[in-house]
Amino acid sequence: ETGVTQTPRHLVMGMTNKKSLKCEQHLGHNAMYWYKQSAKKPLELMFVYSLEERVENNSVPSRFSPECPNSSHLFLHLHTLQPEDSALYLCASSLRPDGSTNEKLFFGSGTQLSVL
């Protein structure tokens, strides 16, 4: 248990559905991240939130909409997704947004998303 909890673990949705992924961290961290892991591709950074403010949007399509209401919670709202969006979506957190060089990222177990 890393202290970062993601729900749901698995999600199947149609292209016209709207769903949300949730991430909660119990580590007192101030920065949270969304990563996407597709088959046969490296993990890709999607969004970075620092103290509830988005500091990075890594050219992600608008059908993915993040929300960070407080430093412990992060959401990823999904709408009108495409089948190629099927992937493992991982949430991570770190203590400080511009942490010292010896700071680690802590990951959740991910949400396996399938878009039909």
Interaction site with other proteins (CB under 8 A) = 2, 4, 6, 31, 33, 40-43, 45, 48, 50, 55-56, 88, 90, 92, 94, 97-99, 101-110, 112
Nearer Cβ to other proteins, position 24 or 80? 24
Q: Which residue has the tokens 């991240």?
A: 33
Asked if 23 and 3 touch (Cβ cutoff 8 Å), the reply is no
What's the full length of the chain, in residues?
A: 116
Nearer Cβ to other proteins, position 70 or 101? 101
User: Tell me, what amino acid is at 113?
Assistant: L
Nearer Cβ to other proteins, position 16 or 102? 102
DSSP state of 42: -
